[in-house]
Amino acid sequence: MYCGNKLLFLHKNFNLFMELTGKIIAVLEAKSGKSSKTGNPWMMQGYVIEVPGQYPRRCVFSVFGEDRIKQLNIQTGEDLTIQFEIDAREYNGRWYNDIRVYNVVRGEVPQPQQKPIEDDNPFPPLGEVQGDDGSGLPF
Protein backbone atom coordinates (compact mmCIF):
# COMPACT_ATOMS: atom_id res chain seq x y z
CA MET A 1 0.00 0.00 0.00
CA TYR A 2 1.13 3.61 -0.55
CA CYS A 3 0.76 6.27 2.09
CA GLY A 4 2.82 9.44 1.79
CA ASN A 5 6.30 7.96 1.97
CA LYS A 6 5.56 4.44 0.69
CA LEU A 7 4.28 2.11 3.34
CA LEU A 8 4.34 -1.50 2.17
CA PHE A 9 2.61 -4.11 4.32
CA LEU A 10 3.19 -7.72 3.33
CA HIS A 11 0.63 -10.29 4.47
CA LYS A 12 3.04 -13.21 4.98
CA ASN A 13 4.43 -13.06 8.54
CA PHE A 14 3.06 -9.50 8.80
CA ASN A 15 6.44 -7.91 8.05
CA LEU A 16 6.45 -4.14 7.87
CA PHE A 17 8.87 -2.51 5.40
CA MET A 18 9.01 1.23 5.02
CA GLU A 19 10.86 3.98 3.13
CA LEU A 20 11.62 7.62 3.90
CA THR A 21 13.16 10.10 1.49
CA GLY A 22 15.06 13.11 2.78
CA LYS A 23 18.40 14.68 3.62
CA ILE A 24 20.87 13.35 6.18
CA ILE A 25 21.34 16.18 8.69
CA ALA A 26 23.48 14.38 11.30
CA VAL A 27 25.77 11.39 11.60
CA LEU A 28 25.85 10.27 15.23
CA GLU A 29 28.76 8.70 17.07
CA ALA A 30 29.29 5.01 16.33
CA LYS A 31 28.79 2.55 19.19
CA SER A 32 30.44 -0.83 19.55
CA GLY A 33 30.77 -3.64 22.05
CA LYS A 34 30.79 -7.36 22.57
CA SER A 35 27.65 -9.50 22.68
CA SER A 36 26.99 -10.91 26.16
CA LYS A 37 25.31 -13.96 24.60
CA THR A 38 27.78 -14.90 21.83
CA GLY A 39 30.90 -12.91 22.68
CA ASN A 40 31.02 -11.56 19.12
CA PRO A 41 31.89 -7.90 18.52
CA TRP A 42 29.13 -5.57 17.23
CA MET A 43 28.96 -2.03 15.89
CA MET A 44 26.11 0.37 15.11
CA GLN A 45 25.93 3.89 13.70
CA GLY A 46 23.07 6.37 14.17
CA TYR A 47 21.87 9.00 11.69
CA VAL A 48 19.19 11.69 11.48
CA ILE A 49 17.16 12.17 8.28
CA GLU A 50 14.96 15.19 7.61
CA VAL A 51 11.91 14.60 5.43
CA PRO A 52 10.91 17.78 3.51
CA GLY A 53 7.46 19.31 3.60
CA GLN A 54 5.56 22.27 4.95
CA TYR A 55 6.47 20.97 8.41
CA PRO A 56 9.71 18.97 7.93
CA ARG A 57 9.96 15.82 10.04
CA ARG A 58 13.10 14.23 11.44
CA CYS A 59 13.78 10.60 12.22
CA VAL A 60 16.69 8.92 13.99
CA PHE A 61 17.68 5.55 12.55
CA SER A 62 20.56 3.13 12.87
CA VAL A 63 22.65 0.83 10.73
CA PHE A 64 23.86 -2.33 12.46
CA GLY A 65 27.13 -4.07 11.60
CA GLU A 66 30.51 -2.62 10.64
CA ASP A 67 30.37 -4.14 7.14
CA ARG A 68 26.90 -2.66 6.48
CA ILE A 69 27.98 0.77 7.80
CA LYS A 70 30.93 0.81 5.40
CA GLN A 71 28.85 -0.54 2.50
CA LEU A 72 26.08 2.07 2.85
CA ASN A 73 28.59 4.91 3.53
CA ILE A 74 25.93 7.45 4.59
CA GLN A 75 27.24 11.03 4.79
CA THR A 76 25.87 14.31 6.19
CA GLY A 77 24.13 16.39 3.52
CA GLU A 78 23.22 13.44 1.28
CA ASP A 79 19.78 13.22 -0.31
CA LEU A 80 18.62 9.62 -0.17
CA THR A 81 15.82 7.18 0.45
CA ILE A 82 16.23 4.83 3.39
CA GLN A 83 14.55 1.43 3.44
CA PHE A 84 14.03 0.19 6.98
CA GLU A 85 12.25 -2.08 9.43
CA ILE A 86 10.74 -1.07 12.76
CA ASP A 87 10.90 -3.21 15.87
CA ALA A 88 10.56 -2.57 19.60
CA ARG A 89 12.54 -3.90 22.53
CA GLU A 90 12.15 -3.85 26.29
CA TYR A 91 14.90 -2.69 28.65
CA ASN A 92 14.42 -2.34 32.43
CA GLY A 93 10.65 -2.30 32.11
CA ARG A 94 10.54 0.36 29.37
CA TRP A 95 9.93 -0.12 25.65
CA TYR A 96 11.98 1.49 22.88
CA ASN A 97 11.47 1.61 19.12
CA ASP A 98 14.32 0.52 16.92
CA ILE A 99 14.45 1.77 13.32
CA ARG A 100 17.06 -0.23 11.40
CA VAL A 101 18.03 0.59 7.84
CA TYR A 102 18.91 -2.28 5.53
CA ASN A 103 19.33 -0.34 2.26
CA VAL A 104 19.66 3.19 0.88
CA VAL A 105 18.81 4.57 -2.56
CA ARG A 106 20.69 7.73 -3.49
CA GLY A 107 19.13 10.50 -5.54
CA GLU A 108 17.26 13.77 -5.46
CA VAL A 109 14.78 14.56 -2.70
CA PRO A 110 11.45 15.50 -4.29
CA GLN A 111 10.35 19.01 -3.33
CA PRO A 112 6.86 19.22 -1.84
CA GLN A 113 4.29 20.74 -4.14
CA GLN A 114 2.73 23.89 -2.72
CA LYS A 115 -0.90 24.72 -3.44
CA PRO A 116 -2.03 28.32 -3.75
CA ILE A 117 -3.54 29.52 -0.49
CA GLU A 118 -6.86 30.29 -2.19
CA ASP A 119 -7.37 26.59 -2.99
CA ASP A 120 -7.07 25.63 0.68
CA ASN A 121 -10.02 27.79 1.77
CA PRO A 122 -13.38 26.17 0.90
CA PHE A 123 -15.30 29.24 2.12
CA PRO A 124 -15.78 32.50 0.19
CA PRO A 125 -14.18 35.65 1.65
CA LEU A 126 -16.25 37.55 4.19
CA GLY A 127 -18.92 39.70 2.58
CA GLU A 128 -19.10 37.54 -0.54
CA VAL A 129 -22.08 35.25 0.01
CA GLN A 130 -23.28 33.37 -3.04
CA GLY A 131 -26.90 33.93 -3.90
CA ASP A 132 -27.20 36.91 -1.53
CA ASP A 133 -30.76 38.19 -1.91
CA GLY A 134 -30.29 41.01 0.58
CA SER A 135 -32.27 39.31 3.36
CA GLY A 136 -29.14 38.76 5.48
CA LEU A 137 -30.03 35.08 5.93
CA PRO A 138 -27.29 32.53 5.21
CA PHE A 139 -29.72 30.18 3.40
Q: Is the pLDDT of residue 139 over 80?
A: no
Q: What DSSP letter does each residue of the chain carry, written as one string?
A: ---SS-EEE-SGGG-EEEEEEEEEEEEPPPEEEE-TTT--EEEEEEEEEEE-SSS-EEEEEEEESHHHHHHH---TT-EEEEEEEEEEEEETTEEEEEEEEEEEEESPPPPPPPPPHHHH--SPPTT--TT--SS----
- In tens, the pLDDT along 47-82 reads 999 999 999 999 999 999 999 999 999 999 999 999
Mean pLDDT, all residues of the chain: 80
Q: Is the pLDDT of residue 29 over 80?
A: yes
- In tens, the pLDDT along 92-110 reads 999 999 999 999 998 755 5
Which class does domain 7-111 fall in? mainly beta
Q: What is the pLDDT of residue 11?
A: 42
